[in-house]
Amino acid sequence: QGQLVESGGGLVQAGGSLRLSCAASGRTFSSYAMGWFRQVPGKEREFVAAISWSGGSTYYADSVKGRFTISRDNAKNTVYLQMNSLKPEDTDIYYCNAVRKDYSGSYYPLNSWGQGTQVTVSS
């Protein structure tokens, strides 16, 4: 699997919106489910959302359900995360990765991580 490059982060006020993008290199992007995770340095990385290889199924952490929307464009090898109604607790570094669901129903990453993109929500 190739490289993952996240972008679109920034500083936004509470209640605002951001759209993150993740560009993937490699010819097999459309074969994999993709996910977004987030992490504050020093804390465990947290699952945010996932989307099936076709884009037909999506899954969200309870903390973002109804506010975030994951989507993908296989022709552009890109996955997106539309974040609305942002809260200060959404402040994190956001990462994308190819994912697979394990026996417990949790999503785990398949590749090494990219640099991520910083999202900061001010109150």
- Looking at the chain, the whole-number percentage of residues with pLDDT higher than 90 is 85
Helix (H) or strand (E) holding 68: strand 68-73
Answer whether residue 27 shows pLDDT above 80. no
Convert the pLDDT of each residue in 45-84 to its tens digit: 999 999 999 999 999 999 999 999 999 999 999 999 999 9
Q: Is there a contact between 55 and 75 (Cβ–Cβ < 8 Å)? A: no
In DSSP notation, 8-26 reads: --EEEETT--EEEEEEE-S
Is residue 87 within 8 A of residue 93, CB to CB? The reply is no
Q: Specify the pLDDT at position 30.
A: 83
Is the distance from CB of 83 to CB of 67 less than 8 angstroms?
A: yes
Residues 6+ apart with CB under 8 A from 15: 85, 86
Name beta bridge partners: 6.
22
- 85-99 pLDDT per residue, tens: 999 999 999 999 999
Closest C-alpha among 83, 85, 89, 94 to residue 119? 94
pLDDT of residue 29: 83
